[in-house]
Amino acid sequence: MDTKEILKKVRKIEIKTRRLSDHIFSGEYHSSFKGRGMTFSEVREYQYGDDVRAIDWNVTARYGSTHIKVFEEERELTMMLMIDISGSESFGTNIQLKKETITEIAATLAFSAIQNNDKVGLILFTDDIELYIPPGKGKSHVLRIIREMIEYKPKSKNTDIGMALKFLSNIMKKKAIVFVVSDFMDEGYFHNLKIASNKHDLTGIRIYDIMEERLPNIGFVPMVDSETGEEIMVNTSSKKVQKRYNINYKKIVEYYKDSFSKSGAGTIHSRTDESYVKKLLLYFKNK
């Protein structure tokens, strides 16, 4: 894809997603996340009605009278977009590929953040950290993020969500709003998810295709594993094969649901042929 074509795609996504963020999501984003972060302001003497949990015992002991810590809402928040760019994201059978839906959702969230003068950062991952863009502000910064999501060529096709979450915990010392956007065709990430969600306001957005939910009965079909590159002949008519596929798919989806639920993180499920706009709006309103 040449530079002209990339810029054309960036512009097309900007027009579509910025309209959504300007008129729909910025207000919902603001009400959902603003005021979540609190920063220390000062210490003052205790007054009747103050929350006893805010007592600063060190200062109280030093001065001989009860003092409390005063906090104020942080004026600026940071959003981190964690985007899965492994091989399975290039799958799609209906309106568009999973990675195209992922790019649109990420762009909408990013524009919503900068509408509130917040910072936005990006992590592109496979089974390694492919690209990290530190949080920044402004339209040009968001356009760079969109451009990277469109043109970046991953070095690996595999997935390791746990590794990506560990990287997030290591680099983000301050609380952030984190969206992990993936098909979550992976397991073994619960431990690192729990650590990250204890520190950050974390949401998983699972993007999937209708054809992934159930194996179609179309006879013998040559299939290629998008992450390993292995090609095999699969008899889709076999009830045994269909049952094994359905069990494995449900197992992965349940792992995603259980892991995020037990970690206290939010979840959104959006199929490529569904309106992600409605899914995001409903999530923000109920948050």
What pLDDT, in 10s, does the model give residues 72-104?
A: 555 578 999 999 999 876 555 556 778 889 998
Pairing of strands 119-125, 129-136: antiparallel
Burial (Cβ within 10 Å: 0-12, 13-18, ≥19) of residue 49: exposed
Q: What is the DSSP string of 89-138?
A: GG--SSSS-HHHHHHHHHHHHHHHHHHTT-EEEEEEESSSEEEEEEEE-S
> Tens digits of per-residue pLDDT, 124-137?
999 999 999 999 99
Output 13 or 67, whichever has higher pLDDT. Answer: 67
User: How far is the C-alpha of 163 from the C-alpha of 126, rounded, in Å?
Assistant: 9
Regarding whether 167 and 61 lie in a shared domain, the answer is no
Q: Which of 46, 73, 100 is the last residue of a domain?
A: 73
* Res 286: pLDDT: 78
The reply to whether 139 and 268 lie within a common domain is yes
Same domain, 62 and 92: no
Least confident window among 83-92, 109-118, 141-150, 151-160: 83-92
CA angle 38, 76, 34 (to 5 degrees): 65
Long-range contact set of residues 20-25: C-beta below 8 Å, sequence gap at least 24? 20/108, 20/111, 20/277, 21/108, 21/109, 21/110, 21/111, 21/112, 21/115, 22/111, 22/115, 24/277, 24/281, 25/108, 25/109, 25/111, 25/112, 25/280, 25/281, 25/284
**What total of structural domains would you count in the chain?**
2
Chain center to CA of 191: 17
- Name which of 85, 86, 81 is nearest 122 in CA terms: 81
Residue 182 pLDDT grade (very low, low, confident, very high; cuts 50, 70, 90): very high
Residues 265, 142 share a domain: yes
pLDDT at 43: 86
Q: With a cut of 90, say whether residue 251 has pLDDT above it.
A: yes
Residues 57 and 197 in one domain: no
With bands split at pLDDT 50, 70 and 90, how would you rate the model's confidence at 279?
confident
Residue-wise pLDDT tens digits, 184-213: 999 999 999 999 999 999 999 999 988 777
Q: Does residue 228 surpass a pLDDT of 60? A: yes
Q: Give me the DSSP letters along 145-163.
A: HHHHHHH---S-----HHH
- Same domain, yes or no, for 110 and 183? yes
Same domain, 52 and 129: no
Q: Verify that 25 and 43 share a domain, yes or no.
A: no
Same domain, 69 and 129: no
User: For the chain, how big is the Rg over CA atoms in Å?
Assistant: 22
Q: Which tokens go with 135? A: 């949080």
Query: How would residue 273 be classed by pLDDT, with cut points 50, 70 and 90?
Result: confident
CATH code of residue 152: 3.40.50.410
117 in the same domain as 52: no
**Do 156 and 59 share a structural domain?**
no
Among 73, 91, 126, where does a domain finish? 73
Q: What percent of the chain has pLDDT over 70?
A: 77
Residue 225 belongs to domain spanning: 3-33+77-286
Contact call for residues 121 and 133 (beta carbons, < 8 A):
yes
Q: In terms of DSSP bridges, do strands 119-125 and 201-208 run parallel, antiparallel, or are they unpaired? A: unpaired
Of 19, 46, 73, the position where a domain reaches its end is 73
Examine the pLDDT at 41 and tell me if it is beyond 70: no
Q: Is the pLDDT of residue 38 over 60?
A: no
Same domain (yes/no): 125, 55:
no
